[in-house]
């Protein structure tokens, strides 16, 4: 026993000390988790120098000289997109862009594919509402041959009828699949309602009208908009401005300029929309889209809006996700985003939920938006949001393709040349007051709400709403749901 007693006390004292050491710092550790330190200052974003020049046919060259990467990226940007498609033929801009690489006057479609593969060219085509981007990546040693091939797509596209049939078929089934997803269908419908009556197409394609596109209309769209004086070509890699000038003049000399006229865009204002729309989309899932207009990207409100959006629903650490999913378990996810168009901008919230939880989900979204308008942001939450935004941009610019695209957007969106270089400097001054100002300006007005779900299993859960406009899956108005009764439009 004496032996045991002798060994027991030192061990007991040591154990008590250990417990005290562990217990003592706990409140401080918890406080640290609740109030993390301010982030260290981030280094300035240093972008490679960009040189530019306009050659004889009006084609603008932009050269990003890099000597540390053998991967070359070449992009051709066109100031034309789906907003330039005829109102009766949405999808023409997209179909035309996809047809550009489907054969030329001197190379048939099969040979095009062979030469692209032989030169190791990876490409992508992006058509937005206001612009189109053709991006080509390959090894820098293949620059001359690659540019010789790429130039033919713009100088002498042939638009074979058989290839157009294939393009239309691909587009048709892609749109059908897209519209089967409630969130995609709901967002497209949301955009239509936001821009209704403005004469502007924010990039919405219609599966049923794709089949009406002809080779004649594709050729006319190309003749009208895909002109060198309406285009920008970006060289990103080991090349000088003088070399880029020589290559562009040599390969694009037959690309003939023509006057390009684009209609002006109506400036739309943030206002009380105060409408709830139900889009009947088959399936068990429910998507809720909430949003309103803001301002164009060039507005002074842009950087405070970025911070506000991050606080609202930019990531899984933002308020919407934490409130709706983590805390209340109402939604599978909830995020917010900003979209920008020529002359306009908008914010939109998307949440995926279940029919019984729709009303509570919308109430939680409304409360989260209201809190940002009525309450000042805590300093630590604000600094975390700003640090994320400033630290994330350099990650988005790591690939040559992403860097080219960002530089090109400066021209397409008519932004200052140092817009991205000064990004952090413009985010840093954003404070709680400026965030609250934009929150009150854009989140306080009553938004447009779109609920995309199957009507048969969902409308019964929406009896609390005074009025819901009901549309079928094609976006055609069907009737009004009031106090639990669906009143069909008189036919």
Residue of 218, 206, 255 lying closest to 476 (CA atoms): 206
Domains and CATH numbers, the chain: 50-252 (3.30.830.10), 275-488 (3.30.830.10)
Strand-pairing partners, residue 77, are 133, 232
Could you tell me whether strands 50-54 and 132-139 are parallel, antiparallel, or unpaired per DSSP bridges?
Answer: unpaired
What CA–CA distance (Å, rounded) separates 9 from 142?
79
Report the half-sphere exposure of 442 (CA within 13 A, side-chain side): 29
Check residue 58 and give its pLDDT.
97
Check residue 46 and give its pLDDT.
81
**Which tens digit of pLDDT belongs to each residue from 75-119?**
999 999 999 999 999 999 999 999 999 999 999 999 999 999 999
Ramachandran angles phi, psi of 195, nearest 5°: -100, 10
The answer to whether 381 and 436 are in contact (CB under 8 A) is no
What CA–CA distance (Å, rounded) separates 64 from 51?
7
Check residue 15 and give its pLDDT.
43
Order of strands across the sheet with 60-65? 50-54, 60-65, 231-237, 71-78, 132-139, 122-127
**Which tens digit of pLDDT belongs to each residue from 1-15?**
334 433 433 443 344
Q: Structure tokens of 196?
A: 């209704």
**Which tens digit of pLDDT belongs to each residue from 163-198?**
999 999 999 999 999 999 999 999 999 999 999 999
Whether the pLDDT of residue 53 is over 50: the answer is: yes
3-class secondary-structure state, position 139:
strand
Check residue 464 and give its pLDDT.
86
What CA–CA distance (Å, rounded) separates 36 from 68?
38
Residues in contact with 478: Cβ distance below 8 Å, sequence separation at least 6, in sequence order: 280, 470, 471, 472, 488, 489
Residues in contact with 297: Cβ distance below 8 Å, sequence separation at least 6, in sequence order: 340, 345, 413, 415
Sign of the dihedral defined by the CA atoms of residues 110, 116, 118, 120, in that order = negative
DSSP summary character for residue 313: I
What CA–CA distance (Å, rounded) separates 168 from 95?
7
What CA–CA distance (Å, rounded) separates 190 from 196?
10
Check residue 47 and give its pLDDT.
86
Whether the pLDDT of residue 24 is over 50: the answer is: no
Percent of the chain exceeding pLDDT 90 equals: 85
Whether the pLDDT of residue 28 is over 80: the answer is: no
The answer to whether 472 and 280 are in contact (CB under 8 A) is yes
Check residue 483 and give its pLDDT.
82
How large is the average pLDDT for residues 391-417? Answer: 94
In angstroms, what CA-CA distances link 366 with 32, 85, 284, 446, 460? 31, 36, 24, 10, 21
**The residue count for the chain:** 491
| pLDDT band for position 31 (cuts 50, 70, 90) | very low
DSSP summary character for residue 311: I
DSSP summary character for residue 378: P
DSSP string, 51-67: EEEE-TTSPEEEEEE-S
Check residue 38 and give its pLDDT.
52
Query: What would you report as the CA-atom Rg of the chain, rounded to the nearest whole angstrom?
Result: 28
**Biggest distance spanned by C-alpha atoms of the chain:** 105
Mean pLDDT rounded to a whole number for the chain: 91
Sign of the dihedral defined by the CA atoms of residues 314, 317, 318, 321, in that order = positive
What CA–CA distance (Å, rounded) separates 183 from 289?
8
Q: What is the pTM of this model?
A: 0.88
Residue of 23, 38, 134, 482 lying closest to 278 (CA atoms): 482
Whether the pLDDT of residue 490 is over 80: the answer is: no
Q: How many helices (H) does the chain have, and how many strands (E)?
A: 18, 14
Whether the pLDDT of residue 480 is over 80: the answer is: yes
């Amino acid at each position: 026993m004496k032996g045991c007693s002798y060994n027991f006390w030192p061990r007991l004292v040591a154990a008590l000390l250990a417990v005290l050491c562990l217990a003592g710092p706990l409140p401080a550790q918890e406080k640290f988790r609740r109030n993390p330190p301010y982030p260290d200052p981030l280094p300035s974003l240093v972008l490679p120098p960009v040189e530019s020049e306009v050659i004889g046919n009006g084609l603008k060259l932009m050269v990003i000289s890099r000597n540390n990467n053998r991967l070359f990226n070449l992009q051709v940007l066109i100031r034309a997109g789906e907003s330039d498609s005829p109102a009766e033929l949405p999808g023409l801009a997209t179909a035309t862009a996809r047809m550009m690489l489907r054969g030329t006057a001197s190379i048939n479609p099969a040979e095009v594919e062979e030469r692209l593969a032989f030169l190791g060219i990876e490409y992508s085509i992006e058509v937005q509402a206001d612009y189109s981007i053709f991006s080509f990546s390959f090894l820098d040693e293949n620059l001359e041959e690659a540019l010789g091939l790429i130039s033919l797509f713009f100088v002498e596209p042939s638009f074979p009828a058989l290839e157009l049939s294939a393009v239309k078929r691909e587009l048709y089934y892609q749109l059908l699949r897209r519209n089967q997803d409630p969130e995609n269908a709901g967002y497209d419908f949301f955009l239509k309602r936001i821009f209704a009556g403005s004469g502007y197409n924010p990039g919405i394609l219609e599966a049923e009208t794709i089949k009406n596109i002809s080779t004649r209309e594709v050729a006319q769209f190309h003749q009208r908009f895909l002109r060198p004086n309406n285009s920008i070509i970006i060289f990103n890699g080991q090349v000088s401005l003088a070399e880029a000038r020589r290559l562009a003049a040599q390969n694009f000399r037959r690309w003939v300029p023509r006057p390009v006229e684009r209609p002006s865009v109506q400036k739309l204002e943030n206002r009380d929309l105060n409408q709830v729309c139900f889009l009947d989309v088959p399936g068990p899932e429910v998507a809720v889209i909430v949003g309103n207009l803001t301002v164009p990207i060039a507005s002074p409100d842009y950087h405070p809006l970025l911070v506000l959006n991050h606080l609202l629903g930019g990531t899984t650490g933002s308020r919407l996700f934490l409130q709706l999913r983590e805390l209340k378990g109402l939604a599978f996810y909830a995020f917010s985003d900003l979209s920008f168009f020529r002359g306009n901008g908008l914010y939109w919230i998307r949440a995926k939920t279940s029919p019984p939880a729709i009303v509570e989900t919308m109430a939680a979204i409304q409360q989260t938006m209201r809190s940002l308008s009525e309450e000042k942001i805590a300093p630590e939450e604000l600094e975390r949001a700003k640090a994320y935004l400033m630290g994330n941009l350099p990650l988005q610019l790591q690939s040559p393709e992403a860097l080219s695209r960002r530089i090109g957007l400066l021209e397409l969106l008519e932004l200052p040349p140092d817009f991205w270089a000064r990004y952090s400097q413009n985010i840093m001054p954003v404070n709680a007051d400026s965030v609250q100002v934009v929150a009150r300006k854009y989140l306080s007005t009553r938004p447009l709400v779109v609920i995309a779900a199957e009507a048969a299993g969902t409308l019964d859960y929406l009896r609390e709403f005074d009025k819901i406009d009901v549309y079928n899956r094609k976006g055609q108005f069907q009737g009004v749901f009031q106090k639990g009764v669906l009143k069909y439009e008189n036919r």
